[in-house]
Amino acid sequence: MLQDSVGQRADVIVLGAGIVGVSAAYAAQQRGLSVILLDRREPGSETSYGNSGVLSSGSILPLNKPALWRMLPKYLTNTHPALRWDPAWAARNAGWVARFLANAIPSQTRPRADALHGLSVATLKLHREWIVKAGVEARIRETGWLKVWRSDGTAAAKAEQAFLAGYGIGSELFDRQGISSLEPNILPIYTTALLHSDTASVDSPGAVVKAYAQMFAGAGGQIRQSDITAIVPESDGWRVVLADGALTARHVVVALGPWSADLLRPLGYSVPMGFERGYHQHFRPTLPRSLLRPIHDLEGGFVLTPMEQGIRLTTGVELTDRDAPSSFAQLDAALPLARGVLEFGEPVGEPWRGARPTLPDGLPMIGPAPRHPGLFLALGHQHIGFTTGPATGVAIAAMIAGAPPPFDASAFSPGRYLS
């Protein structure tokens, strides 16, 4: 039982209230454990707020897939909107870059796709259940996700379709005319499109995370807002040191997204985390001429998606330090391209920046820390963390309870990088 005082104890303390932490907290609480969820901000205010809201069935190949080599000459010019990189960062992190590229080989494709497919199947089922249970089912759109090509993308789209079909993942190919009937309000600039038809999206990922957090609190879980400064092993569990006190628990789950490595370093764990930063900006929609689903312009390097706040334009990847000053070059490059696709109005609010937390093999860490009983890691979900948070949380809760996770989590073992 929880006590109402500083220094209280729970079965589980979850650090971080993004989609991953909220999901772990809810799943642990559903197993009858007492759970405290900690964050310095409100649930769903960081990376889990600013993403494109795609609940993807088919994003089972990380960025560092073999096709990356074909794109590399373009990316090296540092002018492609899909990927920018900071040379000084690359020099300082040459080891991470080398490990990231070393995974972009054919022999690494199938095992990683198999692992991410298992995770994706489990998580989409949970999202579809939880979003109803949390009372926000009006936020989910079962209209798929449209990948679009400006130049002839037929061969690439067909290859992707065949790859997805190998996993039983549905997709449909469209030509210019078909694209116009599917998305009547976009200008006819795309030649080819692949609709990921099993994929869904939401109109406010931050609101969905907040609703899941309320579902956790409504079922008896406790949410506390505080800055976490350290986690310290004790004889019977863990002490979590806060800016305004301390809490103890038998189990601690680290789900701090791009900040996860910071609190693990003092315990001797060096998490090889890279930061694929990304930006978004909202624009006033020109109703009723809006979008029906997220579209991913592959050559333009952006995603355009209808959100509660307006049309959200999200950028590709910027490889640099997590906290380096913002550069709006990718947003600036994407905006005229996006305006050539869809009519929309003035910016709403300020641009947002976040960081996709990425490990060199593009797979998350989901499991126990190697040297510390009671410490569980749920981090490194790169481009698909909003999708994969729920199944990650359920897997962590199962592991805490000594039960098997709902998918094969062996590829996600923290032990592959940490000792």
Applying CB under 6 A, the residues found at the interface with ligand FAD are 16-21, 39-41, 45-48, 50-54, 56, 227-228, 255-259, 278, 280, 314, 354, 356, 381, 383-387
* Minimum CB distance to ligand FAD, residue 284 (Å): 20
Our CB check for ligand FAD shows the closer of 42 and 343 to be 42
Burial environment of residue 94 by CB neighbours within 10 A (0 to 12, 13 to 18, 19 or more):
exposed
Nearest to 254 by CA among 418, 62, 26, 12: 12
Strands 192-196 and 171-175: antiparallel
User: Amino acid identity, residue 253?
Assistant: V
Strands 245-254 and 145-149: unpaired
Our CB check for ligand FAD shows the closer of 84 and 105 to be 84
d(CA 398, CA 24): 10
Cβ atoms of 259 and 270 closer than 8 Å: no
d(CA 179, CA 144): 13
User: Amino acid identity, residue 139?
Assistant: R
Considering only CA atoms, give the Rg of the chain: 21
* Minimum CB distance to ligand FAD, residue 345 (Å): 21
Our CB check for ligand FAD shows the closer of 122 and 286 to be 122
Our CB check for ligand FAD shows the closer of 191 and 290 to be 290
Our CB check for ligand FAD shows the closer of 45 and 178 to be 45
DSSP-assigned states of every residue in 38-77:
EESS-TT-SHHHHS--EE-SS--S-SSSTHHHHHHHHHHT
Our CB check for ligand FAD shows the closer of 75 and 178 to be 75
Cβ atoms of 83 and 316 closer than 8 Å: yes
* Minimum CB distance to ligand FAD, residue 17 (Å): 5
Q: Alpha carbon of 107 to those of 4, 69, 110, 348: distances in Å?
A: 53, 14, 7, 45
* Minimum CB distance to ligand FAD, residue 354 (Å): 4
Our CB check for ligand FAD shows the closer of 18 and 368 to be 18
* Minimum CB distance to ligand FAD, residue 107 (Å): 26
Residue with tokens 């997220």, as numbered in its chain: 294
* Minimum CB distance to ligand FAD, residue 222 (Å): 15
* Minimum CB distance to ligand FAD, residue 34 (Å): 20
Our CB check for ligand FAD shows the closer of 75 and 191 to be 75
Q: How many CA atoms lie within 13 A of 59 on its CB side?
A: 24
Residue with tokens 């909107």, as numbered in its chain: 81
* Minimum CB distance to ligand FAD, residue 106 (Å): 25
Burial environment of residue 151 by CB neighbours within 10 A (0 to 12, 13 to 18, 19 or more):
exposed
* Minimum CB distance to ligand FAD, residue 357 (Å): 6
Write out the H or E segment, with its range, that includes residue 73. Answer: helix 67-76
Nearest to 147 by CA among 193, 202, 209: 193
Our CB check for ligand FAD shows the closer of 32 and 378 to be 378
Our CB check for ligand FAD shows the closer of 129 and 175 to be 129
Instruction: List the Cα angle 395/45/52 in 5-degree steps.
Output: 75
Our CB check for ligand FAD shows the closer of 273 and 341 to be 273
Cβ atoms of 171 and 196 closer than 8 Å: yes
* Minimum CB distance to ligand FAD, residue 302 (Å): 10
Strands 317-319 and 83-85: parallel
* Minimum CB distance to ligand FAD, residue 97 (Å): 19
Nearest to 35 by CA among 213, 243, 227, 228: 213
